Amino acid sequence: MALARALAVEPEVLLLDEPFSSLDPLTAESLRTELVRLWHDNLTTVHTVVMVTHSVDEAVYVASRVVVLSPRPAKLVADVKIEMPYPRNRKSPEFQRYLDLVYSHI
């Protein structure tokens, strides 16, 4: 898997472009959870993750900041700081509020 190869070189910054899009939902969810755990529990050298995703749920679950861009030419539409502790509970009202906020900018 590309994510394992990327982590093997012990980067400080991890750039991800739709990293879980080709996986089945259960595997993708498991890897998202593992990535967040490795990153936030300081179990890797990664300090910063920049991830492109079309999944609002994934963005709110993983990110501390969600940047919404317009269609071409891309312009900044919103910059939403996600102030929730990790691990995040997708069923919490706070998570739902962030989902609604990000969706409101799309």
Identify the DSSP state of 11. -
What local confidence, expressed as pLDDT, does residue 89 receive? 95
What local confidence, expressed as pLDDT, does residue 106 receive? 93
C-alpha closest to that of 31 among 43, 20, 41: 20
Domain count, the chain: 1
Q: What is the pTM of this model?
A: 0.90
pLDDT averaged over consecutive 10-residue blocks of the chain (106 residues)? 86 93 93 91 91 96 96 96 95 98 97
What local confidence, expressed as pLDDT, does residue 98 receive? 98
Domain containing 86 equals: 2-104
